[in-house]
Amino acid sequence: MDAVETIVIFTKGTVHGAYIIDLQRRNDERGYFARMWCDKEFGEQGLMAQVRQINTGFSHSAGTLRGMHFQRAPHQEVKVVRCLRGAVFDVIVDLRSESPTHRQWMGVDLTAENGRMLYVPEGCAHGYLTLHAGTELMYLTSALYVADAASGVRYDDPAFAIAWPGMVNVISDADRGWANYFL
């Protein structure tokens, strides 16, 4: 196989500061190879290039909703999310009052097959609905988790009117109990 520079492809999302990240795969008879992370390439885009924590989440059932989570200042975090197994509809809600996309949301299908990642900027709530049973996600975060700074907004808040692509069958009491967003 010819030597080819492997790059990360950044596409601006509809929420200010959010990016859909596609991996340029180098395919051959064995399968493929792709770069998922390069601090230089992220930095050249003006994006967070420091990873402080890597997390994973697994959901047994399709229709499992996790979210909408964020960390309050000064512990806000950037997330880069990738689906390792299964599929999710991954959502960002812009909670930044100074943002041109304040209160807007965007959703992206992340699947093990498409290998796509989602860059979630600081000040945005994040959550996802599993589309397949046995779904696993990986999160890179720019800040350490601080339990006292953990917060969220309701996944069904009419202020955002998120169009989830399926029924919510499994949700934690904590996620069901988040308050509606107030201006």
- The pTM for the full model equals 0.92
Instruction: Please tell me which residue, 136 or 7, carries the higher pLDDT value.
Output: 136
Three-class secondary structure of residue 143 per DSSP: coil
Alpha carbons 68 and 66: distance in angstroms, whole number? 7
- Each domain of the chain, given as residue ranges in start order, spans 50-175
Residue type, position 141, single letter: T
Cis amide leading into 158 (omega within 30): no
pLDDT digits (tens, 9 = 90+) for 24-54: 888 899 988 888 888 888 988 999 888 999 9
pLDDT digits (tens, 9 = 90+) for 115-126: 999 999 999 999
Instruction: Please tell me which residue, 4 or 142, carries the higher pLDDT value.
Output: 142
Mean pLDDT calculated for residue range 70-78: 96
Catalytic positions are 69, 139
| The residue to which tokens 């997330």 are assigned | 79
| CATH number for region 50-175 | 2.60.120.10
Within 10 angstroms of residue 139's Cβ, the number of other Cβ atoms is 18
Three-class secondary structure of residue 175 per DSSP: helix
What was the pLDDT predicted at 63? 98
**Which of 2-11, 14-23, 39-48, 110-119 shows the lowest mean pLDDT across its residues?**
2-11
**Is the pLDDT at 62 greater than 50, yes or no?**
yes
68 within 8 A of 154, measured Cβ to Cβ: yes
First vs last C-alpha separation in the chain: 55
Three-class secondary structure of residue 7 per DSSP: coil
pLDDT digits (tens, 9 = 90+) for 77-111: 999 999 999 999 999 999 999 999 999 999 999 99
Q: Which residues contact 173 (CB under 8 A, 6 or more apart)?
A: none
**Token duo for residue 159:** 């202020």
